[in-house]
């Protein structure tokens, strides 16, 4: 569970470039020896983060609504809050 929370926190910290209209650029970061590749997409009233861990092949899909994050990482269901400023930065990068 700690690794999942670190993953999500890292995703919010790593978002830095806005998405283009028709293509969602891939973002990449490495944490604790694992490399993560993901995209963000604005869907209706939430942001979807989808990706995988290159080292293990595990996938994740997270949905951010306001400052609430829900979804799956590997085969585990996750649900947690993030600071409003982080959620806002993520949502603006997916536009």
Quote the pLDDT of residue 31: 87
Contact criterion met (CB below 8 Å) for 4 and 73: yes
Q: CA 10, CA 59: separation in Å to the nearest integer?
A: 15
pTM, full prediction: 0.68
pLDDT tens profile 14-57: 544 444 345 678 999 898 899 999 999 998 889 999 999 999 99
Question: What rounded mean pLDDT belongs to the chain?
Answer: 78
- pLDDT of amino acid 66: 87
């Amino acid at each position: 569970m700690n690794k999942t929370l670190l993953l999500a926190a890292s995703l919010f910290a790593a978002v830095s470039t806005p998405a283009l209209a028709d293509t969602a650029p891939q973002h990449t970061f490495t944490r604790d020896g694992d490399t993560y590749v993901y995209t963000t997409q604005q869907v209706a009233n939430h942001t979807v983060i989808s990706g995988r861990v290159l080292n293990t092949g595990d996938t994740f899909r997270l949905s951010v609504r306001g400052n609430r994050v829900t979804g799956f990482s590997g085969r585990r269901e996750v649900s947690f809050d993030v600071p409003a400023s982080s959620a806002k930065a993520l949502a603006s990068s997916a536009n």
